[in-house]
Structure 1
Amino acid sequence: MLLERLQERIPADRLQLDPAVTASYAHDEAEWAPHGTPLVLVRPRTAEEVQEVVRACIEHGVPVVPRGAGTGLSGGANAIDGCVVLSTEAMTSIAEIDPVERLAVVQPGVVNDHLRSACAEHGLWYPPDPASSPWSTIGGNVATNAGGLCCVKYGVTADYVLGLQVVTGTGELVRLGRRTAKGVAGYDLARLLVGSEGTLGVITEVTLRLRPQRPPERTVAGYFSSVVDAGRAVTAVGAAGIVPSALELVDRHCLEAVDQWKKMDLAVEAEVILLARCDVPGAAGDDEADAIRDCFEQAGATWAARSTDQDEADALFAARRLAYPALERLGPVLTEDVCVPKAAVPEMLARIEAIGKRHATLIANIAHAGDGNLHPLLITPRGDDAARVRAQRAFEEIIDEAIALGGTVTGEHGIGLLKRDGLVQELPAAVLDLHRAVKAALDPHGILNPGKVIAAPADGGAPGPADRG
């Protein structure tokens, strides 16, 4: 039996069979995404232990569902009945920070903010900073190709992954990528695994590119009477050729929820706030901040200014990060993650507003507005099934509208379970077949996070190994 094999090969303290504990690892933070009951939870500490788990699952034909901190919002880490949930939370070693090569080597369970703090001690910086950075892990960030506030200027996780150590779907422990600044030997398999949500391999180590610490940022805030006006300001900043180090949108619903929770005195007379930051040093940075303020004013801001109070500026950005957990206190929150071209941001925000009204669903808005990555938050009363159905329909319509405007169904949260239908809408059938072919090649036994990302073909044919994931 699988359990006997695991007990033979894995230290006993790595295995957890208590149903109360395994149930808490059966799903991520995706509201209403289905999940099953795991057979066992395994929390390995080494790559070799991960390898033993995967090999045992191959031998017994049991699915393995990799999991980081469980902060995902698409159901990508959700268990299926009888699976092994493999949590990397105990793999927390920062093996190396190299100031000369400007790289870090870490295990997948390292928390994003912990890595950033460790890098700062060497005068270095790891830019990707999802709103969940105080809790989410590097392995999960790599699995979903997470972005964050800084990505408008500095890129997403994939831009910083140099190499990976991975347990493959055949049970091999391999290294992909490189440590050098350049390298084009063979296919870029490391890049292929970034964003694959555990369906192509289990990440056991990550080599990351680092940057020098940047200068202090200037903050510009703008108040707007509508999300559409704020969207026009985003477009104006892009049209002016300005690339701020952050450009975030937060609406009144989010600020009020954070204020009620954390008592941060965030009361503002605006329906929407845009928060921009600039990290260009010297007088050029002052000029950039002034130019952003001008864009805000020209787009119809009721008030716009460069912040002279760093504590106040930090509080507003802290509120942006706290918006999701604050809104969760009000009721179930279904979180969207569409991304559209910057020029389409005003129209997309207007369509989201109309969708909310049409389905009688409260939609709060936060966004990495600078790169068109919008996170409408659909809030429903607890226990109200009719409201849940309306919210799910609104969720689907938001996906439809994003695709119609030339966008994508997910900017950084991943496909998981919630966005599989959206992926089918976005990608041509031939491209979906390429995905299935890659899945079949790298996971021939079909055990790696099956059912996530790529569904079975729409023709209803008998699923093969590629269709199990």
Structure 2
Amino acid sequence: MAAVVALDSLIAALPPGMVVTDPDILAAYRQDRAQDPDAGTPLALIRPTTTEQVQTAVRWCAENRVPMITRGAGTSLSGGSTAVDGAVTISTEKMRELTIDTATRTAVVQPGLFNAEVKAAAAAHDLWYPPDPSSFEICSIGGNVATNAGGLCCVKYGVTTDYVLGLQVVLADGRAVRVGGKQLKDSAGLPLTKLFVGSEGLLGIITEVTLRLLPPQAPACTVVGSFASVTDASEAVLAITSKIRPAMLEFMDSVSINAVEDMLRMGLDRQAGALLVAQSDAPGPAGAAEVAIIRQAFEAHGAADVFDTDDPQEGEAFTAARRAAIPAVEKIGSLLLEDVGVPLPQLPALIGGVADIAADNDVMISVIAHAGDGNTHPLIVFDPDNADEAARAQVAFGQIMDLAISLGGTITGEHGVGRLKKAWLPNQVGPDVMELTALIKNALDPQGLLNPGVIL
């Protein structure tokens, strides 16, 4: 009964309709893109529009010891915004203000804006926001910051943290703090901005982000090659990255090639074992030299039908094909989505090892990758209604992470640990780092109310 009275006080403290208890609406906020079958049901959903409203919600939760789940657009692939029974879900989807400062080349953004919307706003001022997850049209900036998201161009231009200059964060006790700002250089105190980027809502709720913008990307030349095997393609990747850093270097295996062709009908080679899509945006003779290096690497490793184009529409068609790989493969069956990365010399071993895991467990695993930085996305396809197949898929899921760790890699390059991968985190980072992580968490959130079940 006390919880109901306390919830009434929260409803009274916020604008009408901001606190939602309708069971049908709450059901839609139970799961995120990871589709965690163990998702709980929120006590309530709160959709604030301002930092002050977030503070009100957080203070109420702190006073009543109610856990808080922070949710952006719900595109998390690691269960980072999965609902928890008895917890309040705070969705930042309605926090959508944005301003562009051309003098400092920065954007001040609330977390609910989509990545694509920030790109478009920057482009309207002849500027560019580089980080570009495949889900850029539907994922939010808040989620990107929380997971330190990457994307296709990150091999050359870096990931989200490289563009976050400042943050406003609501702490577990309801205080709002600002870290960083519009200045490009700042060595005052500890680098707290970097601490919050990638923290998956464990340390605070991000309510404003100051992003660094760049001049527009130069026109790119796209090089495409089809390979007989994934091994040949991964060896070609190493031949390229040992000499240059392309603007993009993406990998698709035969399963994803055929799935994308089924969906887009763009004439991809269905017989290919793998496809590489590379881009150079270096100007003039430097760009021509990079294209020559890419072509030579493709051809030296047996690629057929190598071609290059400086036509933007042709180049974008292949980029769109790579972005479509996950939804295309998902049409085959339910997915367990991996996000493992390794040092580049270990890329062939990782891809080969995933193939062995698929054979050993008799499951289909499609591999797509941001190959230029060693970040792969093995997609385990299974039928959730087939208990034996679902169990084998789960075994493969864990074995892939074990393989990445054994190769000196990581269980997540850009999706975050979330709830689905935290059992493997200690094996990667070790007990001392886990203890340090817990110390930081306890210092900022002594009641353990922020995103319980994530990472720790």
User: Deviation per CA, 1:115-136, whole angstroms, max 9, x where unpaired?
Assistant: 1011011111011000010000
Q: Deviations over 1:273-331 (max 9, x none)?
A: 00001110112101111111101111222332213654333222101111111222222
Partner of 2:18: 14
Equivalence for 2:93: 89
Q: CA deviation at 1:266?
A: 3.3
Mapped to 1, the partners of 2:353 and 2:59 lie a distance apart of: 48
What letter corresponds to residue 29 of structure 2 in structure 1? Y
Is 1:112 aligned to residue 98 of structure 2?
A: no
User: Where in structure 1 do 4 or more consecutive aligned residues deviate above 2 Å?
Assistant: 31-34, 258-269, 307-313
For residue 441 of structure 1, what is the amino acid of its counterpart? A
Specify the alignment match of 1:61 in structure 2.
65
Match of 2:54 among 50, 54, 68: 50
User: Post-superposition shift, 1:161?
Assistant: 0.5
Structure 1 residue 71 and structure 2 residue 75: aligned? Answer: yes
Q: Is the 8 A contact 1:144 1:195 kept in 2?
A: yes
1:206 aligns with 2:204: no
Aligned mates of 2:419, 2:42 — CA distance in 1: 17
CA–CA distance in structure 1, aligned partners of residues 6 and 273 of structure 2: 56
CA distance in 2, matches of 1:44, 1:263: 42
Among 169, 173, 185, which residue is 1:170 paired with?
173
Residue in 1 aligned with 2:429?
A: 427
- Distance in 2 of aligned mates of 1:164 and 1:228: 42
Return the offset for 1:112.
0.2
Q: 1:362 maps to what in 2? A: 364
Question: Are residue 127 (structure 1) and residue 150 (structure 2) matched?
Answer: no
Q: Which moved more, 1:249-258 or 1:304-313?
A: 304-313
C-alpha change, 1:33 and 1:160, in structure 2 (3 Å) is farther
Distance 2:310 2:186 in 1: 45
1: CA distance between counterparts of 2:309 and 2:183? Answer: 41
The 1:333–1:179 alpha-carbon spacing in structure 2 relative to 1, beyond 3 Å, is same
Which residue identity is paired with 1:51? Q
> 3-state DSSP class of the match of 1:343?
helix
SS in 2 for 1:421: helix
The Cα of 1:18 is off from its aligned counterpart by 1.4
Q: Kindly provide the amino acid, as one letter, of the partner of residue 122 in structure 1.
A: H
1:268 Cα deviation (Å)? 4.2
Superposed CA deviations along residues 171-196 of structure 1, whole A, max 9, x for unmatched, are 10111112211111111111101011
Q: Please tell me whether residue 239 in structure 1 is matched to residue 242 in structure 2.
A: yes
**Partners of 1:3 and 1:32 in 2: how far apart?**
27
Contact residue 31 and residue 332 of structure 1 kept, 8 A: no
Q: CA deviation at 1:213?
A: 0.4
Q: Which residue of 1 aligns with 2:378?
A: 376
Amino acid at match of 1:93: E
1:376-412 Cα offsets, whole Å, 9 max, x none, are: 0000124112111111111111111111111011100
Check the 8 A contact 1:62/1:83 in 2, yes or no: yes
Tell me the amino acid that sits aligned with residue 67 of structure 2.
P
Is 2:152 the counterpart of 1:149? yes
- Give the deviation of 1:239 after TM superposition: 1.6
Q: Which amino acid aligns with 2:41?
A: T
Q: CA deviation at 1:417?
A: 0.8
Quick check: 2:264–2:321 contact (8 Å CA) kept in 1? no
> Which residue, 3, 8, 15 being the options, matches 2:7?
3
The CA distance in 2 between the partners of 1:297 and 1:99, in whole Å, is 44
Indicate the residue corresponding to 2:279 in structure 1: 277
* Structure 1 contact 170–445 (Cα < 8 Å) conserved: no
Q: TM-score, normalised by structure 1?
A: 0.94
Q: Which of these residues, 296, 310, 313, is aligned with residue 311 of structure 1?
A: 313
Residues of 1 paired with 2:322 and 2:343: CA distance?
22
Give the secondary-structure state (helix, strand or coil) at the position aligned to 1:86.
strand
Structure 1 position 15, deviation (Å): 1.9
1:266 aligns to 2:268 (yes or no): yes
SS across alignment from 1:247: strand
Distance 1:162 1:394, change over 3 A: same
Q: CA deviation at 1:27?
A: 1.6
CA contact (8 A) 1:150 1:246 kept: yes
CA distance in 2, matches of 1:437, 1:329: 43
- The equivalences for 1:396-411 within 5 A come to 396-411=398-413
- Matched-pair contact (CA < 8 Å) for 2:26–2:44: yes
Deviation at 1:271, TM superposition (A): 1.6
2:162 is matched with which residue?
159
Distance 1:249 1:21 in 2: 39
1: CA distance, partners of 2:417 / 2:38: 14
Report what 1:337 is aligned to. 339
Identify the residue that residue 327 of structure 2 maps to in structure 1. Answer: 325
Q: Within 2, Cα distance between the matches of 1:385 and 1:176? A: 48
Give SS of 1:333's match: strand
Q: CA deviation at 1:255?
A: 2.6
List runs of 5+ in structure 1 lacking aligned partners: 455-469
Kindly, what percent of the aligned residue pairs are identical?
49
**How many residues align structurally?**
452
In structure 2, the gaps of 5 or more residues are: none
Partner of 1:102: 105
* CA RMSD, Structure 1 to Structure 2 (Å): 1.3
CA shift digits 1:430-466 (9 cap, x unpaired): 1110000000011112110011111xxxxxxxxxxxx
Contact 2:250-2:276 within 8 A present in 1 as well = yes
Give me the whole-angstrom Cα distance separating, in 1, the residues matched to 2:75 and 2:302.
36
Q: Compute the TM-score of the two structures, normalised by the length of structure 2.
A: 0.97
